[in-house]
Amino acid sequence: MNINSKIPVYILSGFLGSGKTTVLIKMLEHCKANGQNPGIILNELGQENVEGHLFEDKKVVELLNGCICCTIQDDLKETMNDLVAEMESNPLDVLFIEGTGVANPLEIQEVLLTDPYMNQFEIMSIITVLDASHFREYQSIFASSSEVRKLIKEQIICGSLLLLNKTDLIGQEEIQKVIRKIIQIGGDESNIIQCKFGQVDNDLLFEKRFQSFMMNPQNTDIVQEHEHHHSFIQAIKLEDIPSFPIKSYEKWFKGLPSNVLRGKGYIEIEQTKELLNFQYASNKVTFTKIPTSVPKKSIIILIGTDLNNEAINEHCKYLLEGIL
């Protein structure tokens, strides 16, 4: 790496459960294949990162219990300062920043475009990942909230590359309706790539596409209107969870109220005492094994709206009391 060149930065944005981390992992695999040393800044709304095993051999900085674009923006600046200091002995070839599912990437951009970071880092692209299977539901005034609609609008307008993910879950007619709605929000020049499971050609992912959002006069309204309105999104943590058969877990996750938008963590299987990582989104749950070298405990993180209500409390009680 040329030590006099700026470090390329890729910002990953997108609403809860859209597939940001899947895309990030695929980009990291590309870096590894090319012998590059990446840095990663991960932001979580909760108090604990339950996806750390996915980045076990990487340089990762975790910013927890807040949104990178507001409540812990100072932490982002401090993290950037630490990275600059460490690069003298451990140079980075590329930096990835993944915000929470409710982050507006505008504020991340603002940090990187101020001194001293703009002299050492170069934003290559703001990649916004969109869930095709739930997009029109999130845009509906009957099925969604004004906060969700506004947040997704901000993420679309700020994105220099829009990945329409999970297209395998809907038909072509629905996909075209989603694309028309995205163009209505983001304009005719929106760079939209359809994909499933986050699979996108690396040349397209790593292409330099960024133009300063703040310098575009068409985006003045979003800059002026933006407030940190996503406090309506909450995260709750469940611990001391009994072991159950995997079928019982599947039934429990599928029975979650619709206001739970995302879930992740670790669960223990009753018969084998094996600990599995789970990912819940779009009312679907997947389970994967984790390395035995990674010490973990059973924990479930649920993210959504109005989580402190009777329906979610009752549903969680079944799990915590072992009465599934």
Average pLDDT score over residue span 5-18: 92
The pLDDT of residue 212: 60
Is the pLDDT score of 168 beyond 90? yes
Confidence band, pLDDT 50/70/90 cuts, at residue 89: confident
Please tell me the distance from the alpha carbon of residue 203 to that of residue 208, in angstroms, as a whole number: 10
Average pLDDT score, the chain? 83
Phi, psi (deg, nearest 5) at residue 289: -75, 150
Q: Measured between alpha carbons, how far is residue 186 from residues 11, 16, 61, 129, 155 in Å?
A: 18, 19, 31, 14, 9
What three-state secondary structure class fits 164? strand
Is the pLDDT score of 45 beyond 90? no
The residue ranges of DSSP E strands in the chain, in sequence order, are 7-14, 38-43, 59-63, 94-98, 121-131, 161-165, 192-194, 233-239, 260-268, 275-281, 284-289, 299-305
What three-state secondary structure class fits 13? strand
The pLDDT of residue 180: 96
Please tell me the distance from the alpha carbon of residue 128 to that of residue 111, in angstroms, as a whole number: 18
Confidence band, pLDDT 50/70/90 cuts, at residue 179: very high
What domains are defined for the chain? 7-227 (3.40.50.300), 232-320 (3.30.1220.10)
Is the pLDDT score of 149 beyond 60? yes
Please tell me the distance from the alpha carbon of residue 168 to that of residue 309, in angstroms, as a whole number: 33
Read off the pLDDT of residues 298-315 as tens digits, 9 standing for 90 and up.
889 888 887 877 888 889
Contacts of 167 (CB under 8 A, 6+ apart): 132, 175, 194, 195, 196
Average pLDDT score over residue span 190-215: 87
The pLDDT of residue 222: 46
Confidence band, pLDDT 50/70/90 cuts, at residue 2: very low
What three-state secondary structure class fits 163? strand
- Angle at alpha carbon of residue 303, lines to 135 and 281, rounded to 5°: 45
Q: Which residue has the higher pLDDT, 217 or 261?
A: 261
In this prediction, what percent of the chain has a pLDDT beyond 70? 82
The pLDDT of residue 304: 83
Please tell me the distance from the alpha carbon of residue 281 to that of residue 134, in angstroms, as a whole number: 10
